[in-house]
């Protein structure tokens, strides 16, 4: 039996997770009663009656937001290797402290350019969602508001 590497353990965990879920689901299937009806089989939509097809076309705004998300995701990825070398004692000692400043400025420039891009998209209004307009009605009621106040006062005691 050879020794497992660290990633071998991770693989074991993954396999164990899959097996565990499969066993539980299988057990549940064995012991649960099986009496389907139409109500039970409909899609669960937070208690609402499902309406229409779920395969509708999405608004393109979701896509723009997802794209901006990816760009910043990749930017974060670049921060990880940077974090491992930014405070490297040997490099700092070799360069008389210059390395720290150098790498700091380097990352500031990188993040700065992307932040400017975000600022651009923000100012331009691409991140604004189209909100439903709230309309106040123009209808003038014949019943004066003082009447309502009286009723409120009467029943609030």
Partner 1 sequence: MNFWYFLTALTLLSASMVILSKNPIHSVLYLVFTFFCISGHYVLLNAQFLMAVNIVVYAGAIMVLFLFVIMMMDLSKNSPDSKSTLTKLAGAILGGTLLVILIAASRKVDLKDVKPIDAQTGMVEGLGQILYRDYVLPFELVSILFFVAMVGAVMLGKREAGERNF
Partner 2 sequence: MNAIIALSLFGISNLFLGFLNNRKILLPATLVFILIALGLNFADWNHEYYWFNNMLKTNNLSVNFVTIILLSTFLVVAISRSFGDDDEHSHPAEYYAILLFSAVGAIMMVTFENLIMLFVGLEILSVSMYVLTGSDKRSLRSNEAALKYFLMGSFATGILLFGVALVYGATSSFDIHGIAQGVAKAKEQMGGAYGPLLYSGVILIMVGLLFKISAAPFHFWTPDVYDGAPSIFTAFMSTVVKTAGVAATYRILSISFPSVYGLWGNPLVYIVCATLIIGNITAVYQQSFKRMLAYSSISHAGYLLITVLAKRPETNSSLLFYSLAYAIATITAFAVLMVVSEAQAKNGKADESFEALNGLANNNPLLAFSLTISMLSLAGIPLTAGFFGKFFVFSDAFSNPSSLFKWILVIAILMSTVGIYYYFKPIIAAYMKKGEVAKIELSPLYKFILILTTTLTILLGLAPDLVKNIF
Q: Choose among partner 1, partner 2, none what residue 123 binds, the Cβ cut-off being 5 to 8 Å by kind.
A: partner 2
Residue 132 lies near partner 1 (rule: CB under 8 A): no
- CB of 108 or CB of 148, closer to partner 2: 108
- CB of 27 or CB of 119, closer to partner 1: 119
Phi, psi of 129, rounded to the nearest 5 degrees: -90, 145
Residue 44 lies near partner 1 (rule: CB under 8 A): no
Residue 92 lies near partner 1 (rule: CB under 8 A): no
Binding residues for partner 2 (CB under 8 A): 113, 116, 120, 123
Give the integer Cα–Cα distance in Å for 47 and 112.
Answer: 46
Residue 73 lies near partner 1 (rule: CB under 8 A): yes
Among 26, 44, 58, 139, binds partner 1 (CB under 8 A): 58
Phi, psi of 21, rounded to the nearest 5 degrees: -60, -45
Q: Which stretch binds partner 1 (CB under 8 A): 17-25, 39-47, 74-82, 135-143?
A: 74-82
Give the integer Cα–Cα distance in Å for 150 and 157.
Answer: 12
Tokens for 57?
A: 């076309």
Place of tokens 């014949």: 142
Cα dihedral across residues 98, 99, 104, 106: positive or negative = positive
Angle in degrees, CA 130, 136, 137, rounded to 5: 130
Tokens for 91?
A: 């490099």
Binding site for partner 1 (CB under 8 A): 7, 53, 55, 57-58, 60-64, 66-71, 73-75, 77-78, 80-85, 88, 91, 103, 106, 109-110, 113-114, 116-118, 120-121, 124, 126
């Amino acid at each position: 039996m050879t020794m497992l590497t660290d990633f071998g353990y991770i693989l074991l965990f993954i396999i164990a997770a899959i097996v565990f879920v499969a066993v539980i689901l299988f057990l549940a299937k064995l012991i649960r009663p099986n009496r389907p009806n139409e109500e039970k089989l409909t899609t669960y939509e937070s208690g609402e009656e499902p309406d229409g097809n779920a395969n509708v076309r999405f608004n393109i705004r979701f896509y723009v937001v997802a794209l901006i998300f990816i760009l910043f995701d990749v930017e974060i990825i670049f921060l990880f290797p940077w974090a491992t070398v930014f405070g490297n004692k040997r490099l700092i000692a070799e360069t008389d402290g210059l390395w720290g400043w150098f790498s700091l400025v380097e990352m500031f420039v990188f993040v700065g350019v992307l932040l400017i891009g975000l600022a651009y998209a923000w100012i331009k209004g691409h991140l604004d969602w189209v909100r439903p307009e709230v309309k106040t009605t123009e209808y003038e009621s014949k019943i004066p508001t003082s009447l309502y106040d009286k009723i409120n006062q009467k029943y609030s005691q």
